[in-house]
Amino acid sequence: MADLTYRRVLLKLSGEALMGKKTFGIDPDVVRFITHEIKEVKDLGIEIGIVVGGGNIYRGLAASAQGIERVMGDQMGMLATVINALAIQSYLEKLGVVTRVQSAIAVEAVAEPFIRRRAIRHLEKGRVVIFAGGTGSPYFTTDTAAALRAIEIEAGAILKGTKVDGVYTADPQKHKDAVKYDSISYLDVVKKGLKVMDFTAVTLCMENQLPIIVFNLTEKGNLKRVLFGENIGTKVIGDDYEK
């Protein structure tokens, strides 16, 4: 345990990460793999919060382009995150991991309301807390929800699990000469327009000096490697912000 870099973290999962190779919905094999990775680090004594997106089911911004009013579309997207949170909860509990789902929108029949002190208490008790419903307000992404929840639960870092192994100067699938950053400052992420998290989320992390680690979650053992401080992925951090 002495070698662990972080004792409490917030894992950010996009809804798309749960799709695997599907074009919609949830791929059971992918969720099974992710939850096994979570259990492995949970068994080390790591306190884990999870924020999951809903883009594999519904995306409010895309819905607004189809004629659905934006606020209502975002609310539909929030409900999609609840579905994903319940799926992750089910798979984790099949592995014997005790979990709680807390939602920023009221769905008392399936999830607790988000209460900061209760969430921290769950983490201290060794439970994995899955945060659903985004921030509870329209116009904010689940990236922003992840930054907000991480700050509220006093996490040591946000771990953003993706399908790529870090942040590049350009899309590595489209640009063969793209170079991966080992580390980069918050301000450079914003100035260069890099798609790490949305700018509101990055700014929140910068103001609170909360590291963001972007890594490939699809490679077995990577989550554990990040927690032990191995130099994988890209770390977004910096002393470039002065209060």
Q: CATH number of the domain that 61 lies in?
A: 3.40.1160.10
Q: Is residue 150 in a domain?
A: yes
Beta strands in the chain (DSSP E): 8-13, 47-52, 99-103, 112-113, 128-132, 157-162, 167-168, 180-181, 183-184, 212-216, 234-236
Give me 158's structure tokens: 């946000």
Q: Is residue 94 in a domain?
A: yes
Q: Is residue 3 in a domain?
A: no
pLDDT at 3 over 90: no
Residue 175: predicted pLDDT? 87
Q: What angle do CA 117, 120, 125 make, to 5 degrees?
A: 125
Q: Is residue 103 in a domain?
A: yes
Q: Is residue 161 in a domain?
A: no
Region of 238 please: left (phi>0), alpha (psi -120 to 50) or beta: left
Give me 165's structure tokens: 């192994």
C-alpha 137/C-alpha 145 separation (Å) is 10
C-alpha 161/C-alpha 165 separation (Å) is 9
Using DSSP's 3-state secondary structure scheme, residue 130 falls into strand
Domain that holds residue 96: 8-156+186-236
Give me 117's structure tokens: 């002190």
Q: Is residue 151 in a domain?
A: yes
C-alpha 119/C-alpha 112 separation (Å) is 10
Number of domains within the chain: 1
Q: Is residue 78 in a domain?
A: yes
Residue 243: predicted pLDDT? 37
Task: Report, as an integer, the average pLDDT of 8-28.
Answer: 92
Q: Is residue 181 in a domain?
A: no
Chain segment 89-118, per-residue pLDDT in tens:
999 999 999 999 999 999 999 999 999 999
Chain segment 119-178, per-residue pLDDT in tens:
999 999 999 999 999 999 999 999 999 999 999 999 999 999 998 899 999 888 888 899
